[in-house]
């Protein structure tokens, strides 16, 4: 099943490329309202707060107080779960970074020079002053790149994140669609048992880490507990003085959807009180 992850700059006609791909390949386009709602549920946060953070609209104080690690994990899990369903085009949200190692996912960037983008935005919004259009484009670029930096530590302009980068000032929308369809239908990007396992392992990893966070919270970090996944098999590592925590963690992970077996290599460290 086809999966496309796309990054598009404002006013590059990327939404038209996405619509063309959805029509040609029968894909569902993931809209931000759906993603924000589901991320908010996973993170236990108001949807408005999630929207403001992902759109780069939070204040400095809000960015300091927000649990970015939780936001990152919840966003990643939502994107991976969507990709697992297949037949989907995911725009933004760090999807190109999260899915770039999955062999059957086509990661795409749609871009264009500033002058082209100014003209597109002026036509779209009826804005008559290029300086105003440029200001809005620069604000959007800075906000979205800043969000990706805070969530995943990436630069969305990094070409290594993508299978193909298309400049709509040089390549018409219809041709962009054709180029991407050709990639999706090529043997290189066909889903296989191996590529499916790669994606499934990433999904299980974030499911398992989310379960650990819900059950143990900061205790899992304090005890350096971490989860690794290989073909559905989970390896739990770390060190703790709490033997029961190891037992509880293994039982918890055994119940995570998709997990086949759980092995613990957590070291049980004996507590030695300090002498006065």
| Residue 197 main-chain phi, psi, to 5 deg | -65, -40
> For position 126, what pLDDT does the model report?
81
Answer yes or no: do 184 and 254 share one domain.
Answer: no
Q: Which of 139, 173, 191 is the last residue of a domain?
A: 191
* Same domain (yes/no): 139, 232: no
Same domain? 144 vs 210: no
Alpha-carbon gap, residue 92 to 9, rounded angstroms: 10
Contact 30, 88 (CB under 8 A): yes
Q: Report the CATH number at residue 94.
A: 3.40.50.300
Report the candidate in 239, 266, 274 with the shortest Cα–Cα distance to residue 250: 266
Give the span between the Cα atoms of 24 and 108, in whole angstroms: 16
Question: Taking the CA of residue 168 as centre, how many other CA atoms within 13 Å lie in the half-sphere pointing to its CB?
Answer: 26
Interatomic CA distance for residues 171 and 164, integer angstroms: 13
pLDDT in tens, the chain (276 residues): 899 999 989 999 999 999 999 999 999 999 766 788 888 888 888 888 887 777 667 776 666 667 778 888 999 999 999 999 999 999 988 999 999 999 999 999 999 999 999 999 999 988 778 888 999 999 999 988 888 888 899 888 899 999 999 999 999 999 999 999 999 999 999 999 999 999 999 999 999 999 999 899 877 777 788 999 999 999 999 988 889 999 999 999 999 999 999 999 999 887 656 555
Last residue of some domain: 158, 191, 224? 191
Residue 274 domain flag:
no
Rounded-to-integer distance, Cα 253 and Cα 72, Å: 21
Q: 161, 191, 221 — which closes off a domain?
A: 191
pLDDT at 33: 64
Joined together, the tokens standing for residue 197 give: 């396992």
Per-position DSSP letters for 169-221, written without gaps between them: TTS-HHHHHHHHHHHHHSGGG---HHHHHHHHHHHHHHHHHHHHHHHHTHHHH
pLDDT, residue 138, reads 94
Chain center to CA of 44: 18
Q: How many distinct structural domains can be found in the chain?
A: 2
> 151 and 184, same structural domain?
yes
How confident is the model at residue 63, as a pLDDT?
A: 64
What's the pLDDT score for residue 220?
Answer: 79
Q: 30's torsion region: left (phi>0), alpha (psi -120 to 50) or beta? A: beta
- Residue 204 maps to a domain: yes
Locus of tokens 């759109």 = 55
Which domain, by its residues, includes 141?
Answer: 3-191
- CATH code, domain carrying 259: 3.30.1340.30
In this structure, the answer to whether residues 29 and 137 fall within a common structural domain is yes
Pairing of strands 226-230, 28-30: unpaired
Q: What confidence score (pLDDT) does residue 252 get? A: 97
Q: Are residues 127 and 41 in the same domain?
A: yes
């Amino acid at each position: 099943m086809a999966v496309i992850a796309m990054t598009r700059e404002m006013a590059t006609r990327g939404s038209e490329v996405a619509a063309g791909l959805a029509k040609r390949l029968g894909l569902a386009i993931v809209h931000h309202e759906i993603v924000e709602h589901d991320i908010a549920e996973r993170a236990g946060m108001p949807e408005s707060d999630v929207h403001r953070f992902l759109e780069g609209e939070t204040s400095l104080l809000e960015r300091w107080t927000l649990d970015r690690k939780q936001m990152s994990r919840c966003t990643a899990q939502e994107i991976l779960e969507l990709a697992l369903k297949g037949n989907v085009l995911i725009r933004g949200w760090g999807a190109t970074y999260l899915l770039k190692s999955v062999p059957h996912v086509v990661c795409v960037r749609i871009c264009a020079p500033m002058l082209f983008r100014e003209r597109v935005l002026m036509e779209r919004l009826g804005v008559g002053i290029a300086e105003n259009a440029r200001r809005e484009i620069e604000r959007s670029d800075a906000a979205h790149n800043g969000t990706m930096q805070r969530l995943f530590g990436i630069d969305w302009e990094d070409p290594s994140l993508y299978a193909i980068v298309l400049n709509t000032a040089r390549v018409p929308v219809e041709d962009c669609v054709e180029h991407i369809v050709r990639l999706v239908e090529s043997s290189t990007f066909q889903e296989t048992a191996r590529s499916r396992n790669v994606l499934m392992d990433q999904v299980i990893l974030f499911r398992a880490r989310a379960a650990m966070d819900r059950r143990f919270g900061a205790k899992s970090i304090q005890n350096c507990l971490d989860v690794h996944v290989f073909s559905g098999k989970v390896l739990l590592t770390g060190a703790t003085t709490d033997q029961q925590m190891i037992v509880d963690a293994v039982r918890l992970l055994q119940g995570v959807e998709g997990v086949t077996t759980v092995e613990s290599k957590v070291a049980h460290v004996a507590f030695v009180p300090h002498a006065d």
